[in-house]
Structure 1
Amino acid sequence: MATGTRTLWKGAITFGLVHIPVGLHTASTEQGVDFDWLDKRSMDPVGYKRINKRTGREIDRDNIVKGVEYEDGKYVIVSPAEIEAAFPRTTQTIEIERFIDANDIPFVYLERPYYVAPINKGQKVYALLREVLVKTGKVGLAKVVISTKQHLAVLVPSGKALVLNLMRWGDEVKSLEGLELPPEGVKSARITPAEMKMAEQLVKDMSGAWDPEDFQDEFKHAVMKIVQKKVKAGDTETVIEPEEEAPGPGAKVIDLTELLTRSLKGAKAGAAAKKGARAAPKAGKTAGKTAAKKTTRAKAAPARKSDERKAA
């Protein structure tokens, strides 16, 4: 069974003024069979070449540019500098933007899970967030930047751990339009009481406890049996995984009660600010006049100093 021991990222969970220093750990692993390309004559690895699809010729890296197709056959070229400028700003934070009911997120939006563990004496604040999510039945909807890519994510309590599950953006999930689906409801779908009763009995008979050890990848195990036979024959290859870079330092922890109090005051102040938004245009005009007067005085001051220097 896979264990989440690698620390992939260090930062902090933030909501209000509260910071919880945490590290992300892998919660899943790909267990399929990875077939590499090899040259059967020399057993050398076979790589991929950069080929011009029209001419069939190999081209150098320096002659490759990145383009985005906006119409069929028409592209806009985007320079490396423009791509770098568009990268999201790395903040090393899992910024919770909203707490929502745990059942409000469809499973189709969930993509990849990570275990979240506290670091730098953040255990108490971590436990507070976990327990309040359990008690309220809420999850934290957040944004996080990992490897220069911004993700939508949801922070979910799972036993003793908090799990950060990366999500698909709204425009990445296809709609149900075009699918021939039966209507919802027993009567609308024309299901008879007898059919419903037999289906319920079948579900009851097939019900059991969740145990991940009961389910395995049969294809992978069949291939691995072949591999084990070849290992005994001495036909083996070794793959060494590269080491990962050390993550950056975590965030500091300050008094929890003070942060919660200040966060609540900030929320109330935000609500009051919305009420006074209508008076903002008038205040802006007055502030503009005052700023103009200050600017005029500021421009006049250097002139006096210049005259004094000339006189001297």
Structure 2
Amino acid sequence: MATTARTLWKGAISFGLVHIPVALYTATQENELDFDWLDKRSMDPVGYKRVNKRTGREIARENIVKGIAYEDGRYVVLSDDEIRAAYPESTQTIEIETFVAADAIPFVYLERPYYLAPLGKGAKVYALLREALFKTGRIGVARVVIQTKQHLAALIPAGPGLVLNLLRWGDEIRSWENLDLPEEGSHAEGISAREMKMAVQLIEDMAGDWDPEQFHDEFKEKILQLVQAKIEAEETEAVHPIESMEQARPTADIVDLTELLKRSLDKRQGGAGSTGGRPARGGKTRRSA
């Protein structure tokens, strides 16, 4: 783990009577292109406004409340205090509830990975858990609260470390029962033995080791090449940010979350606040991440 990595969260892995102090680090980074909106007539930045969808008028932040639709056109309005009271208690613990086979969780459940590193004198127990998971071919299923939100997570050994991969809840996964899919089995849809043999041979011929460096975002690369070419040709525009627009961007949600995180930090001893974001790969436990 690089020494410059920023700690997102500090706590402990807990299973049985064992507690392993750990720090949480982000395992991914967003490298998507960011297209800003500009007014083509003046090259002024175009911002976002809180607008009443019926009248088209801008709404002041203090006049906005939060509601959940329970039927078409009908809402239940919840106050900030009611929403805040429903947040799960932050225990700073990755509580392992069970251990399952490493390939038991389908890829569709995997959402976001984080790295875990031991703290203090936790290195030995950390290594013990990692090696025990490798030896048994199992991964831990745990609950953890990050940034006031409770998550289901898989604790997966990968190379020298442990990865905490947040999982989607069961009700977030759509069923494929209503999809028109062929029956399972090698004889489905009249597949012949010769066809199966040829398909297997083709797959084996195309097989190789996983190397992420072989795959690139071609769209992003072409756009960046185009941007560089325009810079070199001096085909650029000067944009002057408008201060009032920049100040109007924060939303009520961000303000509320910042206040809530501050209160949580004041109550914690020896812990660090979490400021993370939310899709990731997973599957059988392997020595290489």
TM-score, normalised with respect to structure 1: 0.73
Q: 1:118 corresponds to which residue?
A: 118
Alignment partners' CA distance in 1, 2:29 and 2:238? 21
Work out which of the two has the higher radius of gyration on C-alpha atoms and give 1 or 2. 1
Q: 1:155 corresponds to which residue?
A: 155
Q: 2:181 corresponds to which residue?
A: 181
Aligned residue pairs: how many? 246
1:142, 1:152 within 8 Å by CA — same for their partners in 2?
A: yes
1:121 shift after superposition? 2.3
Q: 2:31 corresponds to which residue?
A: 31
1:95, 1:144 within 8 Å by CA — same for their partners in 2?
A: yes
Q: Give the stretch that moved more between structures: 5-14 or 178-187.
A: 5-14
1:43-75 deviation line (CA, Å, top 9, x unaligned): 443221111111111111111110000111110
The unaligned stretches of length 5 or more in structure 1 are: 239-244, 252-312
Q: 2:90 corresponds to which residue?
A: 90
- Structure 1 residues 44 and 24: alpha-carbon distance in aligned structure 2, compared to 1, 3 A threshold: farther
Secondary structure of 2:121's aligned partner: coil
1:148-202 deviation line (CA, Å, top 9, x unaligned): 1111000000010100000000000000121000000011331001111111111
Counterparts in 2 of 1:224-303, with a 5 A limit?
A: 224-233=224-233, 235=236, 249-250=270-271
Question: Which of 1 and 2 has higher RCO (CA within 8 Å, sep 6+)?
Answer: 2
Secondary structure of 2:46's aligned partner: coil
Q: 1:219 corresponds to which residue?
A: 219
1:95 shift after superposition? 0.9
Q: 2:11 corresponds to which residue?
A: 11
Alignment partners' CA distance in 1, 2:31 and 2:16? 39
1:144, 1:151 within 8 Å by CA — same for their partners in 2?
A: yes
1:18 shift after superposition? 1.5
Amino acid at match of 2:55: T
Secondary structure of 1:116's aligned partner: strand
2:43, 2:238 within 8 Å by CA — same for their partners in 1?
A: no
1:230, 1:236 within 8 Å by CA — same for their partners in 2?
A: no
Which has a greater percent of helix? 1
1:12, 1:250 within 8 Å by CA — same for their partners in 2?
A: no
Secondary structure of 1:189's aligned partner: helix
1:120, 1:250 within 8 Å by CA — same for their partners in 2?
A: no
The unaligned stretches of length 5 or more in structure 2 are: 240-260, 273-289
1:115, 1:162 within 8 Å by CA — same for their partners in 2?
A: yes
Counterparts in 2 of 1:64-143, with a 5 A limit?
A: 64-143=64-143
1:11 shift after superposition? 1.2
Q: Does 1:170 align with 2:177?
A: no
2:9, 2:271 within 8 Å by CA — same for their partners in 1?
A: no
Tell me which stretches of 4 or more aligned residues in structure 1 moved more than 6 Å.
Answer: 245-248
2:109, 2:169 within 8 Å by CA — same for their partners in 1?
A: yes
1:119, 1:250 within 8 Å by CA — same for their partners in 2?
A: no
Alignment partners' CA distance in 2, 1:160 and 1:236? 48
